[in-house]
């Protein structure tokens, strides 16, 4: 066998290169191992590109050497002259690269030396070709940089920065300020330059472009940092990051010692974080005289920024804009929207937009390059135009229609930067994200709808409104400018010139139209003092600040002195809404951290449910098993857990699973990242125990290490291929974008003849321990844990409650309406599980069948309320993300204001929900239990927050938590029939008895556990706790019914006589022996009549509420 093997080797070595089979896969693999051993041969684009180059080179050499006997010359023999020159010239001698030879591995490769020599020569030519290509690209980049308008102002900019601490750069669209100014400053010696951007997509795209221009495409001197993703390292010198992240860094390091220059880009957009950041930096600059600040803006309201920083110098740079012709094509009002049933306008009419596509097709031949950028107000409008435009594109084969908005996945957004094939144009349907933050090359036509959707906040109704507005003149000019970046352009405006003249000059700053709760909380946590005196660029309405302060006090984040409470300090660290932050803290208290982390994460990202233009029964059927009958947060929990299970299965295709159910997987990836961030924050604050990330056994550790190494190799291969060049779109790419779904190839690096790589899945497995996530998501909650989970969710969301309308039983399921404290007639959001399955709301509603004889009285054990995450108004007010909860226990446990009648059978919660419990004894028993549970809950929560970072002795004991849990579960299981309704406006005006001249407060130790009762000077009655006021409700019953007595025998003194319920309760409290346990009789009372008054007995030293007759009887007992 050895002789045969050596013979075959000799025959192989005797073959000439012309006889050698270069297409043999085994030969190619051996050569790849020799020359590309540092690369992954299965995925490297370099290897594929080399073999394509090799085939072209062989064909070229064969044609060149047709008249010669040999092909490629072998290695030239060494020269014999003294100069050591070769005897003849070879083109390889121009190559300034070398490949090492003589390796022992090459001798063992079973490849003839002459063939190896030819391969080495081809490999050198390939490297030289690549080097020349890169040099040509570099020269082109340098020419483009020098041609930018900002290049002529480089010296003036650097001189201004050297002489002043703050400089304003005002540049029109296309002047190059965003990419060039950071490079100018770094080259001038300012190390560690940070550039803030309002949007994440701008951070990533700018970092990539600057990295290419500065020859750092595969280096780490240029990086970006956005939420959940960062390419920053210790070597990073230019960092692009979002405004929100820069504010978080100021929160941790108030003086920002890691930066020499801060660039605030796009400050003219006036985002909430951007305006707040400018105020923070203005306060920071005196403490950091070495810190330079450069504000970059479009030429909009420049004087405002300059004056805000004490007359900072302004450097105005003209934009590189070609002539743009403006065509006004106003839409007649009767055609503006498509009328639906009852004459309501429902969907945007796409016809005016199609007319512009047709006009471009007729006027401009397809050989003339130029894409169309359409500005629409929102995602729904994009969907309406997308559907019609794709039908037109399919018919003409001359357009690729692509959507662009922030809720799309990164892969879908990146499509707009790719090139269309020859003779085809791109039509990009975008929100205002393309107005300033994203620059798309090749746009020649702009179609401006003149509309924008902005979120505003109504502090009175406590709801967010997503409303459509006309844009400002400044925004209109920004949009127009997008058409003139690469050549003469055309801007179509779907409004009249008179409308344009009537537009406001600048957009309304976001700080003047949104809720300021998170801003005030962050401002307080940074120690910046009173928000009312903070030096904002343009102050927000004082009413919005006051409303935010009151809201944070009600949520327990601020105390009465407007200082942060322990829970407020923690909530300020969490990048979420206050109510979601409260859920996380409460989940840690009750040992429900894992499910609460998942719920909080999915509630903090946009809904993953896609809304198709037309109903899809298959999609609805596939979603059905995920739906929870208890509400949307728990449906989202089911969805997240099931998705993690699919991700953890070997060979599980999560993209296919999501597409079948109409889910945007990108949102679930984002929720997973957010969940991990929440978990780390809770561990940092000692609310969760540190968990070991290392597997227990060595085999698991090795497997995990091997898997991570392979994943990192896939990630590097994708990153290198991604930065290679722009892709060429196909006509099908536009048709696949109709619903925001991703193709099989999206997010990966799929090529012809190559398996698909889901790069999002690779990143997911690199960032997270999938095995631990799978273990957490597969654990099943017990019934008591699930009940407690709903209670924790409700406490976090309180007081965001909605009451079903009393006439809902007679309405169609789709017409169910609800009422909140501040907004009447709200409906369920179409994505809610209760909107798609409204029968869930009727599962336990209605009067008790075995209770009262008259169902019309409305007595029931099972009245329900909907706790909701947010109230959103578009064309109508919607409840978003609802969970149904039992009304009476929730109101008794969580209400901020609880007012009672004298017998406590009537309660009013938060001044708008009226509860009547006919059985006064049951009412007193429930109220007494609620007071005890609330006291215990607040005590344990205080211990949890105060005991962080200290000895475990101050933290809540597991015994106390268990006792509270058991008490809450027992309380929720108590069934008492009651009536629930909303108070009318007139009833609210006459709700309280008002302040009265009263004697000493009655002492009712059995009910209020010895709490001191003080007269309430506003409502009347007596204030027992911060939330409970006793006997303050006015009554419309007559005096006779208040004085009704029934005979009763005291179990302690055997006194037998008629008593009202309150007289009975007071007498029993007085007669009960001090050492005896509290009896249930102290948990009942009834409303005192006008004949009652307070009486103090000097003999027995007790306080009573007696009528004159009872006072005489009591004296006779002594």
Angle between the 665-684 and 593-603 helix axes, to the nearest 10 degrees? 130
Instruction: Give pLDDT tens digits for 88-139.
Output: 766 666 676 666 655 545 454 567 777 777 788 888 888 888 888 878 888 8
HSE value, Cβ hemisphere, 13 Å, CA-based, for 408:
29
pLDDT band of 886, cuts 50, 70, 90: very high
Domain that holds residue 84: 2-139
Residue 511 in contact with residue 520, Cβ under 8 Å?
no
Q: Please give the pLDDT value at position 2.
A: 42
Residue 39 in contact with residue 29, Cβ under 8 Å?
no
Burial of 395 (0-12, 13-18, 19+ CB in 10 A): exposed
Which of 17-21, 120-124, 356-360, 1022-1026 has the weakest average pLDDT? 17-21
Q: What distance in Å separates the CA atoms of residue 470 and residue 503, rounded to the nearest whole number?
A: 7
Q: Please give the pLDDT value at position 950.
A: 55
1003 is written with which tokens?
């002492």
Share of the chain above pLDDT 90, in %: 25
Quickly count helices (H) and strands (E) in the chain: 39, 34
- pLDDT of 285 over the 90 cut: yes
Q: Please give the pLDDT value at position 849.
A: 36
> Between the ranges 487-491, 709-713, 1017-1021, where is the mean pLDDT highest?
487-491
- pLDDT of 382 over the 60 cut: yes
One domain for residues 1053 and 1109: yes
Q: Please give the pLDDT value at position 456.
A: 76
Residue 882 in contact with residue 802, Cβ under 8 Å?
yes
Residue 951 in contact with residue 929, Cβ under 8 Å?
no
- pLDDT of 930 over the 60 cut: yes
pLDDT band of 608, cuts 50, 70, 90: confident
One domain for residues 242 and 291: yes
pLDDT band of 506, cuts 50, 70, 90: confident
1091 is written with which tokens?
């004949």
Residue 262 in contact with residue 166, Cβ under 8 Å?
no
Which of 408, 381, 405 has its CA nearest to residue 667? 408
Residue with the bigger pLDDT between 659 and 854: it is 659
- pLDDT of 746 over the 70 cut: no
Residue 565 is assigned to a structural domain of this protein: no
- pLDDT of 596 over the 80 cut: yes
Q: What distance in Å separates the CA atoms of residue 353 and residue 56, rounded to the nearest whole number?
A: 47
- Rg of the chain taking only CA atoms, in angstroms: 37
Q: What distance in Å separates the CA atoms of residue 374 and residue 429, rounded to the nearest whole number?
A: 5
One domain for residues 860 and 982: yes
Which of 301-315, 713-727, 944-958, 982-996 has the weakest average pLDDT? 713-727
Residue 529 is assigned to a structural domain of this protein: no
What is the distance in angstroms between the CA of the first residue and the CA of the last residue of the chain? Answer: 124
Q: What distance in Å separates the CA atoms of residue 887 and residue 915, rounded to the nearest whole number?
A: 10
88, 109, 139 - which closes a domain: 139
One domain for residues 819 and 925: yes
One domain for residues 284 and 380: no
Residue 233 is assigned to a structural domain of this protein: yes
Q: What distance in Å separates the CA atoms of residue 1008 and residue 924, rounded to the nearest whole number?
A: 10
Mean pLDDT of 210-229: 79
Q: What distance in Å separates the CA atoms of residue 510 and residue 515, rounded to the nearest whole number?
A: 10
Residue 593 is assigned to a structural domain of this protein: no
One domain for residues 853 and 982: yes
Instruction: Give pLDDT tens digits for 159-205.
Output: 999 999 999 999 876 788 889 999 999 999 898 999 999 888 788 88
Residue with the bigger pLDDT between 1076 and 637: it is 637
HSE value, Cβ hemisphere, 13 Å, CA-based, for 586:
22
Residue 1061 in contact with residue 899, Cβ under 8 Å?
no
pLDDT band of 72, cuts 50, 70, 90: very low
Phi-psi region of 39 (alpha: psi -120 to 50; beta: other; left: phi over 0): beta
One domain for residues 770 and 627: yes
pLDDT band of 767, cuts 50, 70, 90: confident
Q: What distance in Å separates the CA atoms of residue 298 and residue 711, rounded to the nearest whole number?
A: 42
Q: Please give the pLDDT value at position 259.
A: 92
Q: Please give the pLDDT value at position 437.
A: 59
pLDDT band of 691, cuts 50, 70, 90: low
Residues 6 or more apart whose CB falls under 8 angstroms from that of 720 comprise 45, 218
One domain for residues 372 and 470: yes
Mean pLDDT of 477-500: 89
Instruction: Give pLDDT tens digits for 560-583.
Output: 888 888 888 888 887 778 888 888
Residue with tokens 């996945």: 409
Q: How far is CA 220 from CA 141, 215, 226, in A?
A: 20, 10, 16
Q: Please give the pLDDT value at position 428.
A: 94
Residue 692 is assigned to a structural domain of this protein: no
Residue 201 is assigned to a structural domain of this protein: yes
pLDDT band of 692, cuts 50, 70, 90: low
Which of 259-273, 320-334, 424-438, 752-766 has the weakest average pLDDT? 752-766
- pLDDT of 744 over the 50 cut: no
Residue 993 in contact with residue 1016, Cβ under 8 Å?
no
State CA 860 to chain mean position distance: 39
Residue with the bigger pLDDT between 1077 and 659: it is 659
User: Please, what sign has the CA dihedral across residues 218, 221, 223, 228?
Assistant: positive
Which of 45-49, 607-611, 772-776 has the weakest average pLDDT? 45-49
Residue 266 in contact with residue 436, Cβ under 8 Å?
yes
What's the number of domains the chain is made of?
A: 6
Residues 6 or more apart whose CB falls under 8 angstroms from that of 590 comprise 788, 792, 961, 965
One domain for residues 384 and 462: yes
Instruction: Give pLDDT tens digits for 1077-1112.
Output: 443 333 334 444 445 667 777 777 777 777 766 776
* Mean pLDDT, the chain, whole residue set: 79
Helix or strand (DSSP H, E) at 836: helix 833-836
One domain for residues 794 and 850: yes
Mean pLDDT of 412-438: 84
274 is written with which tokens?
């951007």
Residue with tokens 């091997």: 706
Residue 586 is assigned to a structural domain of this protein: no
Residue 576 in contact with residue 600, Cβ under 8 Å?
yes
**Cis before 799? omega within 30:** yes
14 is written with which tokens?
């005797």
pLDDT band of 847, cuts 50, 70, 90: very low
508, 533, 557 - which closes a domain: 508
Mean pLDDT of 226-253: 86
Q: Please give the pLDDT value at position 743.
A: 41
pTM exceeds 0.85, yes or no: no
- pLDDT of 1002 over the 80 cut: no
Residue 556 is assigned to a structural domain of this protein: no
880 is written with which tokens?
């978003």
Residue 850 in contact with residue 584, Cβ under 8 Å?
no
Buried b (16+ CB within 10 A) or exposed e, 818-834: bbbbebeebbbbebbbb
How big is the CA angle at 597 (ends 591 and 601), to the nearest 5 degrees?
A: 165
Which of 137-146, 264-273, 839-848 has the weakest average pLDDT? 839-848
Q: What distance in Å separates the CA atoms of residue 808 and residue 864, rounded to the nearest whole number?
A: 13
Which of 795, 981, 870, 865 has its CA nearest to residue 604? 870
Residues 6 or more apart whose CB falls under 8 angstroms from that of 838 comprise 813, 814, 816, 828
One domain for residues 966 and 1019: no
DSSP string, 1047-1097: EEE-TTT--EEEE-HHHHHHHHHHHS-TTSPPPGGGG------TT-EEEEE
CB atoms within 10 A of CB 10: 9
What is residue 9's three-state secondary structure? helix
Which of 315-324, 524-533, 795-804 has the weakest average pLDDT? 315-324
Which of 332, 289, 295 has its CA nearest to residue 312? 295
Q: What distance in Å separates the CA atoms of residue 409 and residue 743, rounded to the nearest whole number?
A: 11
CATH number at residue 275: 3.40.50.300
Q: What distance in Å separates the CA atoms of residue 297 and residue 772, rounded to the nearest whole number?
A: 46
HSE value, Cβ hemisphere, 13 Å, CA-based, for 596:
30
Which of 7-11, 546-550, 901-905 has the weakest average pLDDT? 7-11
Mean pLDDT of 384-409: 88
- pLDDT of 150 over the 80 cut: yes
- pLDDT of 1018 over the 60 cut: yes
742, 761, 778 - which closes a domain: 778
- pLDDT of 550 over the 80 cut: yes
579 is written with which tokens?
């109510």
Share of the chain above pLDDT 70, in %: 77
Q: What distance in Å separates the CA atoms of residue 482 and residue 741, rounded to the nearest whole number?
A: 28
Residue with tokens 């804009």: 321
> Between the ranges 27-31, 38-42, 466-470, 1113-1117, where is the mean pLDDT highest?
466-470
One domain for residues 888 and 841: yes
Sheet holding 399-404, edge to edge: 324-328, 489-493, 443-448, 371-375, 425-430, 399-404
- pLDDT of 345 over the 50 cut: no
């Amino acid at each position: 066998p050895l002789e045969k093997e050596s013979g075959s080797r000799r025959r192989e070595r005797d073959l000439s290169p012309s006889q050698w089979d270069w297409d043999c896969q085994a030969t190619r693999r051996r050569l790849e191992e020799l020359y590309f051993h540092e690369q992954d041969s299965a995925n490297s684009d370099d290897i594929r590109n080399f073999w394509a180059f090799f085939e072209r080179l062989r064909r070229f050499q064969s044609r060149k050497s047709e008249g010669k006997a040999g092909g490629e010359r072998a290695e030239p023999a060494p020269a014999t002259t003294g100069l050591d020159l070769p005897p003849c010239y070879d083109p390889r001698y121009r190559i300034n690269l070398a490949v090492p030879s003589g390796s022992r591995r090459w001798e063992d490769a079973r490849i003839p030396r002459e063939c190896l020599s030819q391969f080495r020569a081809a490999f050198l030519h390939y490297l030289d070709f690549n080097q020349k290509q890169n040099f040509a690209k570099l020269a082109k980049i340098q020419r483009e940089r020098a041609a930018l308008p900002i290049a002529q102002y480089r010296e003036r900019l650097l001189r201004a920065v050297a002489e002043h601490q703050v400089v304003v750069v005002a540049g029109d669209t296309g002047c190059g300020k965003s990419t060039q100014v950071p490079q100018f400053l770094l080259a001038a010696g300012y190390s560690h330059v940070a550039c803030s951007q309002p949007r994440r997509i701008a951070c990533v795209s700018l970092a990539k472009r600057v990295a290419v221009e500065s020859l750092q495409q595969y280096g780490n001197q240029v990086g970006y940092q956005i939420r959940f993703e960062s390419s920053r390292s210790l070597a990073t010198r230019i960092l692009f990051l979002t405004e929100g992240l820069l504010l978080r860094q100021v929160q941790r390091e108030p003086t920002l010692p890691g930066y020499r220059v801060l660039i605030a880009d796009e400050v003219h957009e006036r985002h909430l974080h951007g305006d707040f950041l400018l105020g923070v930096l203005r306060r920071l600059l005196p403490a950091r005289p070495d810190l330079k600040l450069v504000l970059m803006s479009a030429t909009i309201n420049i004087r405002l920024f300059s004056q805000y920083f004490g007359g900072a110098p302004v450097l105005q740079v003209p934009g590189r804009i070609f002539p743009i012709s403006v065509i006004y094509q106003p839409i007649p009002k009767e055609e503006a929207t498509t009328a639906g049933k009852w004459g309501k306008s429902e969907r945007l009419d796409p016809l005016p937009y199609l007319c512009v596509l047709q006009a471009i097709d007729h006027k401009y031949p397809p050989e003339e390059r130029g894409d169309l950028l359409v500005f629409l107000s929102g995602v729904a409008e994009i969907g309406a135009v997308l559907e019609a435009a794709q039908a037109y594109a399919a018919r003409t084969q001359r357009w690729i229609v692509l959507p662009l908005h922030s809720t799309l996945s990164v892969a879908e957004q990146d499509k707009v930067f790719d090139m269309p094939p020859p003779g085809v144009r791109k039509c990009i349907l975008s929100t205002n994200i393309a107005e300033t933050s994203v620059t798309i090359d090749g746009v020649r036509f702009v179609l401006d709808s003149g509309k924008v959707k902005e979120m505003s906040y109504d502090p009175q109704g406590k709801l967010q409104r997503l409303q459509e507005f006309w844009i400002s003149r400044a925004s209109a000019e920004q949009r127009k400018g997008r058409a003139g970046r690469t050549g003469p352009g055309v801007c179509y405006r779907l409004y009249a010139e008179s409308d344009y003249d009537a537009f406001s000059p600048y957009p309304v700053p976001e700080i003047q139209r949104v809720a300021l709760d998170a801003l005030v909380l962050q401002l307080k946590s940074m120690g910046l003092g009173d928000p009312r005196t903070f030096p904002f660029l343009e102050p927000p309405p004082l009413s919005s600040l006051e409303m935010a302060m009151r809201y944070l006090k009600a949520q327990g984040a601020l105390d009465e002195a407007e200082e942060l409470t322990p829970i407020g300090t923690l909530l300020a660290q969490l990048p979420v809404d206050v109510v979601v932050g409260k859920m996380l803290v409460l989940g840690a208290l009750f040992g429900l951290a894992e499910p609460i982390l998942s719920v909080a994460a999915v509630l903090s990202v946009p809904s993953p449910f896609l809304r198709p233009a037309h109903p899809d029964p298959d999609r609805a059927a596939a979603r059905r098993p995920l739906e929870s009958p208890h509400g949307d947060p728990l449906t989202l929990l089911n969805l997240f857990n099931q998705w993690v299970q699919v991700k953890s299965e070997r060979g599980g295709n999560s993209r296919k699973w999501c597409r079948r159910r109409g889910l945007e997987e990108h949102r679930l990836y984002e929720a997973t990242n957010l969940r991990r961030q929440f978990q780390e924050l809770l561990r940092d604050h000692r609310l969760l125990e540190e968990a070991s990330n290392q597997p227990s056994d060595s085999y698991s550790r090795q497997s995990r290490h091997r898997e991570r190494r392979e994943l990192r190799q896939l990630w590097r291969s994708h990153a290198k291929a991604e930065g290679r060049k722009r892709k060429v779109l196909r006509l099908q790419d536009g048709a696949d974008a109709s619903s925001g779904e991703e193709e099989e190839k999206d997010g990966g690096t799929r090529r012809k003849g190559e398996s698909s790589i889901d790069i999002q899945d690779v990143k997911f497995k690199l960032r997270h321990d999938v095995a631990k996530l799978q273990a957490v998501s597969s654990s099943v909650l017990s019934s008591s844990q699930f009940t407690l989970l709903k209670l924790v969710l409700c406490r976090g969301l309180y007081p965001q409650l909605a009451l079903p309308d009393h006439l809902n039983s007679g309405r169609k399921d789709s017409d169910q309406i609800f009422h909140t404290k501040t907004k009447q007639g709200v409906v369920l959001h179409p994505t809610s599980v209760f909107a798609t399955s409204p029968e869930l709301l009727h599962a336990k509603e209605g009067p008790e069948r075995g209770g009262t004889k008259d169902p019309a009285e409305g007595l029931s054990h099972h009245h329900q309320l909907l706790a909701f995450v947010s109230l959103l108004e578009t064309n109508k007010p919607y409840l978003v993300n609802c969970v149904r909860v039992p009304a009476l226990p929730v109101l008794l446990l969580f209400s901020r204001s609880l007012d009672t009648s004298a017998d406590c059978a009537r309660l009013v919660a938060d001044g708008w929900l009226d509860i009547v419990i006919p059985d006064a004894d049951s009412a007193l028993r429930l109220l007494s239990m609620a007071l005890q549970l609330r006291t215990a809950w607040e005590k344990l929560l205080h211990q949890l927050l105060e005991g962080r970072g200290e000895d475990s002795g101050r933290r809540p004991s597991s015994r106390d938590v268990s006792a509270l849990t058991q008490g809450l579960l027992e309380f929720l299981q108590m069934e008492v029939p009651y009536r629930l309704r909303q108070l009318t406006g007139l009833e609210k005006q006459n709700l309280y008895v008002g302040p009265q001249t009263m004697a000493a407060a009655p002492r009712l130790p059995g009910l209020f556990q010895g709490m001191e009762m003080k007269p309430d000077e506003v409502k009347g009655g007596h204030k027992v706790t911060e939330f409970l006021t006793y006997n303050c409700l006015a009554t419309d019953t007559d005096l006779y019914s208040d004085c009704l007595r029934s005979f009763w025998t005291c179990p302690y003194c055997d006194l037998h006589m008629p008593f009202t319920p309150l007289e009975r309760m007071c007498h029993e409290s007085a007669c009960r022996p001090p050492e005896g346990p509290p009896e249930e009789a102290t948990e009942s009372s009834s409303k005192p009549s006008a004949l009652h008054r307070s009486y103090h007995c000097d003999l027995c030293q007790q306080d009573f509420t007696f009528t004159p007759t009872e006072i005489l009887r009591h004296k006779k007992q002594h």
